[in-house]
């Protein structure tokens, strides 16, 4: 009886460990999160001028959240898609934005970027 209780506790512990580990293995950032992060940048990317603080805060937040290669590729693909789908965006401003916000991004934000090469 005591042996089966120990086995049940171990099985429960294993199930809990698997449930908590699964989301961590698939922790890629979503395009919704990327969209929210760059939303304050859209007017700047269309018209230029002063970069809103909320824009740089969003860029910095995305950069710090993209901790894994999967996350960085996901963000790259979302940014690539946004750069190609939002009408009126100045791609030169988009490419320079991370640097102007003090963030180093190892790829160009452009519809032609190959996100498979992002590390």
Query: Domain map of the chain by residue range?
Result: 29-117
Fill in the DSSP letter of residue 117: G
Spell out the per-residue pLDDT of the chain, length 119, in tens.
555 443 343 333 333 333 333 344 455 789 999 999 999 999 999 999 999 999 999 999 999 999 999 999 999 999 888 888 889 999 899 889 999 999 998 888 888 889 999 98
Fill in the DSSP letter of residue 113: -
Task: Give 41-95 as a DSSP string.
Answer: GHHHHHH-SSPPHHHHHHHHHHHHH--SHHHHHHHHHHHHHHHHHSTT--HHHHH
First CA to last CA distance, the chain: 52
pTM: 0.72
Question: Do residues 75 and 29 make contact, with C-beta atoms less than 8 angstroms apart?
Answer: yes
Q: What is the pLDDT of residue 108?
A: 82
Token pair 């809990």: residue: 16
Class of CATH domain 29-117: mainly alpha
């Amino acid at each position: 009886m005591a042996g089966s209780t120990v086995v049940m506790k171990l099985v429960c512990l294993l199930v809990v460990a698997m449930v908590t580990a699964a989301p961590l293995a698939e922790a890629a950032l979503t395009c919704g999160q990327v969209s929210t992060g760059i939303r304050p940048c859209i007017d700047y990317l269309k018209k230029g001028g002063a970069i809103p603080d909320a824009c740089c805060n969003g860029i910095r937040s995305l950069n710090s959240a993209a901790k894994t290669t999967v996350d960085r590729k996901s963000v790259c693909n979302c940014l690539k898609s946004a750069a190609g789908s939002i009408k009126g965006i100045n791609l030169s401003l988009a490419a320079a934005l991370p640097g102007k916000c003090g963030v180093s991004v190892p790829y160009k934000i452009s519809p032609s970027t190959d996100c498979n090469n992002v590390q």
